[in-house]
């Protein structure tokens, strides 16, 4: 262990601002990347669902016309 106490650890030998800033911003960037990737997947799923529904509507409409 390089530090004697927890408050020592937080202080980072006087460089706390820079060290924690670097780690926080990095973690935030990674989270943004993950959220962006997951949202993109969800968006594609929504588009496919819309496409399926539209095709089913068209099919249903065609069937009705056949009956008429």
Q: Which residues bind another protein (CB under 8 A)?
A: 1-3, 9, 12-15, 18-19, 21-23, 25-26, 29-30, 32-34, 36-37, 40-41, 44-45, 47-49, 51-52
Residue 38 vs residues 29, 34, 44, 64: alpha-carbon distances, Å: 14, 6, 10, 39
Q: What is the three-class DSSP state of 4?
A: coil
Residue 17 contacts residue 24 (beta carbons within 8 Å): no
């Amino acid at each position: 262990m390089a530090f004697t106490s927890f408050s020592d650890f937080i202080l980072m030998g006087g460089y706390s601002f820079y060290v924690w800033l670097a780690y926080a911003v990095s973690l935030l960037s990674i989270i943004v990347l993950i959220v962006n990737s997951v949202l993109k997947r969800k968006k594609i799923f929504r588009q496919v669902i819309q496409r399926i529904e539209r095709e089913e509507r068209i099919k249903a409409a065609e069937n009705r016309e056949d009956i008429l």
